[in-house]
Structures are given as C-alpha cells and as structure tokens.
C-alpha cells in the first residue's frame, strides 16, 4: 500500500496498490459512487471464515440443542436438513447479488438497488437491529462452556449475573479487535474457524466411536417430548433451533469492500459457508443422539445439560474439557464476526446518510482502515441488552428469538424484489455493463431457486414470529412479543429515519437557501 495526501491535507489515507489488484477493486467500488476507505486485506479463506463464524455451529448447536430436542425429540433432527435446504436457496440468490453488488452492508445495499431507497432502508434497519441483538445472544453463550471448563470462571454465584459478566468482557475484547483493524480481525477469525472446523470433525468422530444406538434413532419421537401439543406443532417449534443457527452466511458479502476480487470471492464463500455449516451441523446432531447416555431421562432437553452433558459424560473429563475449550473459541469468533457484520452495516447506511449521527458513524480511521465508532456503539448496545437479562431472563430469551425473525424478514426483503426484477431482465442488464467479466450465475435455475427462496423465507418468518407461549412465555406481552417487537422496531426506525431526513433538509437549506432568505440576509 502507498500513501497519498488527500486534497485538503487533513490526513493520509491508503491508496490501493496496482500490483495487488486492489486498484481494480477500488475502481470497481468507485463505479457505485463510493471511494475506497476500508483496507482490502481479506482473501478467500478469510471471506469464508466471516460467513462460517457468524453461523458458528459449535456455538449455536451447543447453545440451542436442548431447545430443539425438548420439543421434537430425536426426530427433530429432520428439521435441520429442511432448514438447510431452504437457506441454501437464499444463499444461492445472495451469491448472484454478491457478484454484482460487492458493497459493504450488503443486505441494505442489495435491497436498495432492487426495491428502492425506502425499501432498502427498512431491510437494512431490520438487519441492523437483528445483528445487534444477535451479538448479545452469541456473547452470553460463554456461560454454557467456561464454568464447565473451570470453576474459576463462575465469578458470580448467580448464573444470570455471571453470564452477563462473561458476555460483557467478551464484547469489550471484540470491540477492541474491531477497532484495531480488519487484518487482526481476519487473523483471529480465521484461526478460530480453523479450530472450530477441526473440532467439529474430531467431535463427530469421538461421539460416533462411542455410540449407544444406531442412526435410526432419528426416526423416533420420545414420549412426552412434544410439550402437550400435537407433534406437528412441536416439530415446527423444534425447527426454530435450526432456523436460529443457519443465518449470517451473508457476512462474506458484508466484507466485500475489504476482500480481494470480491465479485469472484464472495459468491463462492457465501455458498461454502452455508454448506459447511449444514453438513457439519447435521453430523453433530446425529453423533450427539447416537452417543447420548439416555434419550428419556430429560437431560438432552434440559438447557442446563443438553449437548455439553453428552460431551462430558461420553468423552470423560479431560477430553470433554478440551472440546469445550474449542467451543469457547468458537463463541469468541462468532461474537467477533457478528459484531463486525453489524459494524459494516452501520457504516454502510451511515455513509449513505440514512442514519442519525451519520457523519460520526461513517468516519473511517485512516490508520486502521476501520469504522471504529460503529464498533463501539454496537458493543455498548449489546452490553445493554445483556443487562436486560439480569432482571428478566425470559424477556432476553424472547429478544433473541424475535431478532432472528427480523433477520429472515430482511432476507425476504432481498429475495422478493429480486424475483420481481428477474421478470424485468435482471441480471442481464447488470452483466452487460461488465463486458468480459464472468460472474456467478444460476442460469436457467434462477427463477425456480428464487421462487423457492421467497416461499421459504415467508414460511419461516411466520413460523418464527407466530405467538407461542411455549417459546416466548405465558405473559400476554411475551406471548405477542414478536408482533410488539416488530412494531416497536419499525416505529423507532421511522423516528430515526424522520430525524435524519429533517437534518438533511436543514443542511440543504443552509447550502441553497430560498431567494427570500438570501435577500433578507444580505
């Protein structure tokens, strides 16, 4: 990288190195009206790691296995391949978009270019809120593993207080890493993902070698596991576990402005992230149920036991703790990846001046090449959400559940206008502006895949948001929490949008005052 002084001489910012290919990438970004501010240092593996670590099957399967099993019993396994296939359809659509719009804040950017500025703003706002809540939900998962590794991590006797403490410490560390620069973030994330991938393979081998039963266990339903509902209803509820896990693979697109050759890299790493997560998660679920000491004593459906209980019982204290250390690493990089994605979404929207305090939130540190203020804001908001857990753990659980609904709605706000645009000739017109560039394409399968993605996204958004006492709690405000939270999110968003629009109008009036005002002032 070489340094050149900007016209105003205020600071020195990096200029892309022609030899590295970054100059072409910066010029490509310039065709969308943005100048290169973020540092390009992410390669193919780093891009894959960004998507895989957001999903983080070691974190989320460990965290949520008991939820799925409690409702569906062993047969809840089949919700995993169903959700995986549905999300793969979405990922394929996203891969096409990543090849054509390699811009940070991808969900917001894609929705804006497909459905208009207001439509894109709503999609970006929903995604941003979902990401901030998901950061807190990932960080609090440390409580599941660290005290089981060493009792010294139980700083507070109250598990809820301890979960908030551990999660807050992790968020401080991930905020610092995000502020230091994308190179360090990518290195830590890539190392963590490598550990996670190795851990998943070794864990499956270890559990399969200690199997108590055959794979046909996934064809059975344990008595009483459906919570008093019909099994179909219980099966739908248990599918939320997989729905909670298999999200965030679009993070490779979030980091497009920091990725070398993103038009080629991001589409492939998006698909690889969801496929690796889907295959690895399926083997983890199968291995756990085959190796579990008992299917009927209630331990597998107990949030205090679940998958960690199987690990410690079947692998022994030493080996079990080693795997739990790997899970703790996965939790760390998962939190880091989600916070990074939320930071880039904030930066992208602020750069377009559609968020309050856009000037501060869109500033990029010239030395680190990262938007530091958005990282701090996201970290503080996530810690504030963790504090909610102290007074009302059920409310925090409801928040974590509903935020995934917002994420699916944001995805739907991309795939739905994409389907409409296909009828108008997309992506042929985009591809025509890039002669000689071969981009990822679904070809003749584009429309069927897109239709499937829209139908899938609609069905899962309804399933995630359907008022259920079993998921959200018996209190009336918790029972209808999905609808209340969605309404509140849109109301706060409308207020933020209105405030920012008013600010832009005031600035425009100052720059170009009305003739009467100008004359009077003179």
pLDDT digits (tens, 9 = 90+) for 86-129: 999 999 999 999 999 999 999 999 999 999 999 999 999 999 99
Does residue 1 surpass a pLDDT of 60? no
More confident residue, 344 or 159: 344
Q: pLDDT tens digit string along 432-457?
A: 888 878 899 999 999 999 999 999 99
Handedness of CA 414, 417, 423, 427 (dihedral sign): negative
Q: What is the mean pLDDT of residues 267-293?
A: 96
Does residue 272 surpass a pLDDT of 50? yes
What pLDDT does 480 receive? 87
What pLDDT does 395 receive? 67
Give the rounded percent of residues in the chain with a pLDDT score beyond 70. Answer: 91
Task: Please state, in angstroms and rounded to a whole number, the distance separating the CA atoms of residues 198 and 211.
Answer: 20
What pLDDT does 225 receive? 45
Q: What is the mean pLDDT of residues 269-292?
A: 96
- Residue length of the chain: 522
Q: pLDDT tens digit string along 389-403?
A: 776 666 667 777 788
More confident residue, 218 or 514: 218
Does residue 227 surpass a pLDDT of 70? no
Q: What is the mean pLDDT of residues 366-379?
A: 94
Instruction: Give the highest mean pLDDT range of 216-230, 259-273, 382-396.
Output: 259-273
Query: Cβ distance 495 to 486 under 8 Å?
Result: no
Handedness of CA 404, 410, 416, 422 (dihedral sign): negative
Residue with tokens 């929207």: 349
Task: Please state, in angstroms and rounded to a whole number, the distance separating the CA atoms of residues 8 and 501.
Answer: 28
Q: Which domains are assigned to the chain?
A: 42-425+447-511 (1.20.1740.10)
Q: What is the mean pLDDT of residues 44-59?
A: 94
Q: What is the mean pLDDT of residues 240-253?
A: 94
Q: Mean pLDDT for the chain?
A: 88
Q: What is the mean pLDDT of residues 347-369?
A: 94
More confident residue, 463 or 305: 463
Half-sphere exposure of 315 (CA within 13 A, CB side): 22
Task: Please state, in angstroms and rounded to a whole number, the distance separating the CA atoms of residues 389 and 63.
Answer: 16
Instruction: Give the highest mean pLDDT range of 157-161, 299-303, 409-413.
Output: 409-413
Q: pLDDT tens digit string along 176-207?
A: 999 998 899 999 999 999 999 999 999 999 99
pLDDT-derived band at 508 (thresholds 50, 70, 90) equals confident
Specify the DSSP element, H or E, that contains 13.
Answer: strand 13-15
Q: pLDDT tens digit string along 28-42?
A: 999 999 999 999 999
Task: Please state, in angstroms and rounded to a whole number, the distance separating the CA atoms of residues 467 and 487.
Answer: 14
What pLDDT does 299 receive? 87
- Token pair for residue 343? 């930071």
What pLDDT does 9 receive? 36
Query: Cβ distance 399 to 385 under 8 Å?
Result: yes
pLDDT-derived band at 3 (thresholds 50, 70, 90) equals very low
Is residue 15 classed as helix, strand or coil in its secondary structure? Answer: strand
What pLDDT does 520 receive? 38
Q: pLDDT tens digit string along 305-344?
A: 888 889 888 988 889 899 999 999 999 999 999 999 999 9
What pLDDT does 13 receive? 41
Q: Which of 281, 346, 276, 280 is nearest to 91 (CA)?
A: 276
What pLDDT does 401 receive? 79
pLDDT-derived band at 388 (thresholds 50, 70, 90) equals confident
Does residue 517 surpass a pLDDT of 80? no
What pLDDT does 224 receive? 46
What pLDDT does 5 receive? 34
pTM for the model stands at 0.90
Q: pLDDT tens digit string along 293-304?
A: 988 888 888 887
What pLDDT does 357 receive? 92
- Residues in a beta bridge with 2: 15
CA dihedral 167, 172, 177, 180 (to 10 degrees): 170
What pLDDT does 43 receive? 95
Does residue 19 surpass a pLDDT of 50? no
């Amino acid at each position: 990288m070489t340094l050149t002084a900007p016209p105003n001489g205020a600071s020195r910012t990096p200029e892309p190195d022609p030899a590295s290919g970054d100059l072409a990438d910066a010029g490509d970004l310039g065709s969308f009206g943005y100048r290169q501010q973020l540092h390009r240092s992410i390669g193919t593996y780093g891009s894959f790691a960004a998507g895989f670590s957001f999903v983080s099957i070691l974190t989320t399967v460990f965290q949520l296995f008991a939820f799925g099993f409690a409702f569906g019993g062993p047969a809840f396994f089949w919700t995993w391949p169903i959700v995986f296939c549905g999300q793969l359809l979405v990922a394929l659509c996203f891969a096409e978009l990543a090849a054509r719009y390699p811009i940070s804040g991808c969900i917001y950017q894609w929705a804006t270019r497909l459905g208009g500025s207001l439509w894109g703003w709503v999609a970006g706002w929903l995604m941003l809120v979902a990401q901030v809540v998901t950061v807190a939900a990932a960080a609090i998962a440390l409580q599941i593993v660290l005290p089981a590794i060493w009792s010294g991590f139980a700083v507070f006797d109250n598990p809820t207080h301890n979960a908030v403490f551990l999660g807050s410490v992790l968020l401080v560390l991930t905020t610092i890493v995000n502020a230091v620069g994308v190179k360090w973030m990518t290195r830590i994330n890539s190392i963590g993902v490598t550990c996670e991938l190795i851990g998943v393979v070794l864990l499956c081998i270890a559990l399969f070698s200690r199997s108590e039963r055959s794979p046909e266990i996934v064809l059975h339903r344990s008595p009483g596991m459906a919570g008093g509902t019909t099994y179909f209803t219980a099966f739908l509820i248990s599918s939320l576990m997989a729905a909670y896990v298999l999200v965030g693979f679009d993070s490779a697109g979030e980091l497009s402005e920091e990725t070398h050759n993103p038009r080629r890299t991001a589409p492939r790493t998006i698909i690889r992230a969801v496929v690796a997560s889907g295959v690895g998660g399926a083997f983890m679920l199968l291995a756990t149920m085959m190796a579990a000491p008992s299917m009927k004593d209630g331990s597998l459906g107990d949030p205090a036991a679940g998958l960690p209980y199987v690990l410690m019982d079947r692998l022994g204290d030493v080996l079990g703790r080693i795997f739990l250390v790997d899970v703790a690493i996965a939790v760390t990089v998962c939190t880091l990846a989600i916070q990074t994605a939320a930071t880039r979404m904030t930066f992208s929207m602020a750069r377009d001046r559609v968020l309050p305090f856009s000037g501060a939130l869109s500033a990029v540190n010239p030395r680190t090449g990262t938007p530091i203020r958005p990282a701090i804001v996201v970290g503080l908001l996530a810690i504030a959400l963790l504090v909610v857990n102290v007074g009302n753990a059920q409310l925090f659980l409801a928040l974590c559940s509903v935020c995934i609904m917002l994420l699916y709605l944001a995805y739907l706000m991309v795939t739905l206008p994409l389907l409409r645009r296909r009828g108008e000739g997309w992506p042929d017109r985009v591809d025509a502006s890039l002669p000689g560039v071969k981009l990822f394409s679904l070809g003749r399968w584009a429309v069927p895949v897109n239709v499937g993605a829209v139908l899938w996204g609609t069905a899962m958004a309804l399933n995630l948001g359907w008022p259920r006492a079993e998921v959200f709690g018996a209190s009336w405000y918790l029972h209808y929490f999905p609808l209340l939270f969605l309404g509140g999110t849109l109301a706060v968003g409308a207020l933020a949008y209105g405030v920012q629009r008013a600010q832009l109008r005031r600035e425009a009036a100052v720059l170009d005052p009305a003739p009467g005002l100008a004359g009077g002032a003179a």
